[in-house]
Amino acid sequence: MMGWRHIICVLCVCVSVCFCESSLSGKVHSPLYPKAYPSDLFVQWKLEVPKGYRIQLTFIHFDVEPSNNCCNDSVMVLYGQKILGKYCGQDNSANGQDPGKEPILSPGNHLQLVFQTDGSNAGSQQHLGFSAFYQAVDVDECSSPNPEGGSGPLCSQICLNTIGSYFCDCNHGYQLQPDQRTCLSAIDCDEPKLLPNGGFRFLSDSQNHSVIQYHCNEPYYAFPGAQNISYTCAADGKRTVNDHNDIIIPPCLPVCGNPSGIPGSRQRVLGGKNAPAGTFPWQVLLSVTGRGGAIVIGEQWIMTAANNLVSGSGVTPKESVRLYVGHNDVKERINNPPLEIASIHIHPQYQGNNNFDNDIALIKLARPLTFNSEVQPLCLPPEGAKYERSGWVSGFGYTEEMSISNELRYIVLPLVDQTECRNSFERLKQQKIEVMPFTDNMFCAGLTEGGADTCSGDTGSAFVLKDRESDRYWVAGIVSWGIQCGEKGRYGVYTRVSRYVEWINKIMRDN
């Protein structure tokens, strides 16, 4: 019999509840009270008060058959699925299982009572049950912890509690906004200036000033010094930036050489695997009479090989040059309009024909690019740049099957010693193979055994190295020329960009 009673005790919590009309106070008592309550009962009450209040429940009289863990007869108080108390016994009984005279306070505006009895309330030891009183108690929202979800305090400045609710107010010199919780300065300060490639949001500091915090669209843009800028409209109407009387907001500068990731394994442009999305966001698809490559180095600047833009008839008109950025798939990329070109700048000492010394050119765009995960600039060579180990090259050139690639591919190629590079061209000359001049403005990269190389259609793309100190990628070379593709003992030749940093900066500064 005790086992059966224990099962009934557990199951009672799951029974449905009857809803009662909301009121500010009321009484509740066991059936037949003040007479003895019947046996085999299961009665529930759902107490509710208006929102903005809590329920305070007090037992006036309590007399319920005592038992171990109150599993014969009991009164249970619940808030939702949470049990606030389970009681039996008599007022001030020694077993300590009665509710006593201390009020029970609900967390919210509702409460549930469950009264259950077994079949043993008979004979001379009959129990009378209970009588209780409940009333609505105001919730002081202003003293409550901040709401969940990170929305901040109920009021940005002043919170005033009222019966069943609250309202917000502002300090002198501030106005309550339409959201009825935020305060902004009522002083006639200028509207916040828009920040290109960034934005702002309203804050409120500990001194109750109206504060606007500027930020850049990271990780593609950053302030010099990588700090957010706070702009305060003080009560006297004067503006300050980071506690200084300096209202100049720094620009959001592009972050260079910081792609989402660069593959580390050896793959081949000449028949290699596709480059993962976001790995070479500086890659430009260039189209003149054929396909070539170029490099994003600034918001309005593209770098490429001069031989992409110069032919026997001179410099290609800008209207005949097409530049595409974005997706790694050529078909997706050319679905977007080509970038509008403002001007083309060929290095003044580039000769062309059979001499690709100074093979470098800059293209200025008519409008700035907006950088994102698919379009980002590559850094220029750092001061004292060291050419060592291996670098990355990407492109849309020919594959090993000599078919043009419609997916961006990449390769990791070792740098070749300058002496070995010169010797390789001398060996070709001895075989009566025509070779263009190799100068100190160039370097070689590739495998002695061949099989991995850049090829036609990759010209103008970047040879990329990584700076160990800044952890950023920089343009070490530009794919320039070579003798066939991927042949044993023959290397690709690249323009050494570190020798042209001064010229690059001058062109960008003067234009």
pLDDT at 208 over 50: no
Asked whether 105 and 136 are in contact (CB, 8 A), the reply is no
- The CB density around residue 12, as the number of other CB atoms within 10 Å, is 15
Confidence of residue 239 (pLDDT cuts 50, 70, 90): low
pLDDT at 2: 37
pLDDT at 206: 42
Who has greater pLDDT, 255 or 119?
255
pLDDT in tens, 14-23: 343 455 567 8
- Region 259-285 average pLDDT: 73
Task: Provide the percentage of residues in the chain whose pLDDT is more than 90.
Answer: 49
Tokens at 11, concatenated: 């199951």
Cα-to-chain-centroid distance, residue 153: 24
Largest pairwise CA distance in the chain: 126
- Region 433-462 average pLDDT: 80
Confidence of residue 12 (pLDDT cuts 50, 70, 90): very low
Mean pLDDT of the chain: 83
CATH 3.40.190.10 at 2-139, yes or no: no
Of 426, 425, 407, 491, nearest to 455 (Cα)? 491
| CATH of the domain spanning 283-510 | 2.40.10.10
Who has greater pLDDT, 84 or 143?
84
pLDDT in tens, 329-357: 999 999 999 999 999 999 999 998 889 99
pLDDT at 480: 93
Confidence of residue 392 (pLDDT cuts 50, 70, 90): very high
pLDDT at 393 over 50: yes
Q: Which residues pair with 74 in a beta bridge?
A: 116
pLDDT at 172 over 50: yes
pLDDT at 3 over 50: no
Confidence of residue 211 (pLDDT cuts 50, 70, 90): confident
pLDDT at 168 over 80: yes
Of 495, 169, 449, 165, nearest to 350 (Cα)? 495
Least confident span in 128-132, 255-259, 429-433: 429-433
Instruction: Give backbone dihedrals phi and psi of 478, rounded to 5 degrees, phi first.
Output: -120, 130
pLDDT at 268: 41
pLDDT in tens, 295-313: 999 999 999 999 999 988 8
Q: Which residues pair with 231 in a beta bridge?
A: 212, 241
Task: Provide the percentage of residues in the chain whose pLDDT is more than 70.
Answer: 82
In angstroms, the CA 77 to CA 447 distance is 80
E-strand spans in 347-461? Answer: 361-365, 390-395, 409-416, 442-445
Of 255, 223, 301, nearest to 506 (Cα)? 301
- Region 252-280 average pLDDT: 74
pLDDT at 164: 77
In angstroms, the CA 228 to CA 212 distance is 10
pLDDT in tens, 355-390: 999 999 999 999 999 999 999 999 999 998 999 889
Domain ranges of the chain: 2-139, 187-254, 283-510
Confidence of residue 418 (pLDDT cuts 50, 70, 90): very high
pLDDT at 116: 93
For the question of whether the overall pTM of this predicted structure is more than 0.85, the answer is: no
Who has greater pLDDT, 225 or 77?
77
In angstroms, the CA 139 to CA 450 distance is 80
pLDDT in tens, 85-98: 999 998 877 777 88
Instruction: Give backbone dihedrals phi and psi of 456, rounded to 5 degrees, phi first.
Output: -55, 135
